[in-house]
Chains A and B, each alone.
Chain A
Amino acid sequence: MEHKIQLYTIQNNTNQLIPYFDKGIQAGFPSPAADYMELAIDLNETLIKNPSSTFIGRITGDSMKDIGIFDGSLAIVDKSLRVENNSLVVAWIDGGFTLMQIRNERVTPT
């Protein structure tokens, strides 16, 4: 299988606040206000909405490179989310977990 996922459990009781450029990062003359920046972002809180149903997996293989998911990428997988059209899902296929995109193709009877 060319694209497998190795799953990890997560440590989400840590807090790491990282300075956050709320106004976007500007190319050119830097904002004089940047020195006074106080906003901070916690990636655990921002990226993991439902810790009790979230797993992290490392993607191997580059079958998804066309949509920007490369070999070695980390996937944050939330089992509580509902699958919709175009959702990226981790599916169990042929004895392995695989990253796939769901596409709802309606076949109209002729």
Chain B
Amino acid sequence: MIIGIADCNNFYASCQSVFNPSLVGKPIVVLSNNDGCVVARSNGAKALGIVMGVPAFEIKSLIEEKGVHVFSSNYTLYGDMSSRVMATLSRFSPETEIYSIDEAFLQFKGFDLFDLPEYARHIVRTTTTNTGIPISIGLAPTKTLAKLANKLAKKDPGQQVLKLSLLKKK
């Protein structure tokens, strides 16, 4: 059986750009409660070398210099967008397990005759269109390997789906 994990790309940063599409492609960071540390970064912000968890005051000059868009966290918005993504994902698998605010495992039991990578690409397209949140999906025989597949899928630009298979033992 194959397990999939759907993970939202830069979830908090993506939520901010759903209601302000001019932010798409720009460097965005979202700060923790009381604007302490960076808890989410768009790809543009990652490219500037802003690391996860860095205190906001340490990158103050970088933010001003590069015009990074900074947001306080808005958990009402993230909670609402999360439930929309989860409701959309649940239509595609008989069993979904919500793993965190922006991740869910999808069971693909009985999907042997499906072209799963193609099906997963359909899930990615539908979820991204319907909710405005870009996601990627990793497929593998176990949950741990699915996480790894997802990580690899995100590393490869333009590729939102990746399937890992086990090699047959000799």
Which A residues fall within an 8 A CB radius of B? 7, 9, 50-53, 79-80, 92, 95
Contacts and interface: CB of A to CB of B under 8 A. Distances in A.
Nearest to B19: A7
Interface residues of B, number: 15
Contacts, number: 26
Given A52-B130, A79-B131, 8 more contacts: A7-B19, A52-B87, A53-B130, A53-B131, A79-B132, A80-B129, A80-B130, A92-B22
Nearest to B86: A52
A18 to B, nearest CB: 25
Interface string B43-87: 000000000000000000000000000000000010010011101
A80 B77 CA distance: 19
Contacts of B32: none
A51 B86 CA distance: 12
26 contacts: A7-B19, A9-B77, A9-B80, A50-B130, A51-B87, A52-B83, A52-B84, A52-B85, A52-B87, A52-B88, A52-B130, A52-B131, A53-B84, A53-B88, A53-B130, A53-B131, A79-B129, A79-B130, A79-B131, A79-B132, A80-B126, A80-B129, A80-B130, A92-B21, A92-B22, A95-B22
A92 B132 CA distance: 13
A95 B21 CA distance: 8
Nearest to B89: A52
Contacts of B84: 52-53
Contacts of B83: 52
A27 B168 CA distance: 77
B105 to A, nearest CB: 19
A51 B87 CA distance: 9
Interface in B6-27: 19, 21-22
Contacts of A52: 83-85, 87-88, 130-131
Contacts of A79: 129-132
Interface string B118-146: 00000000100111100000000000000
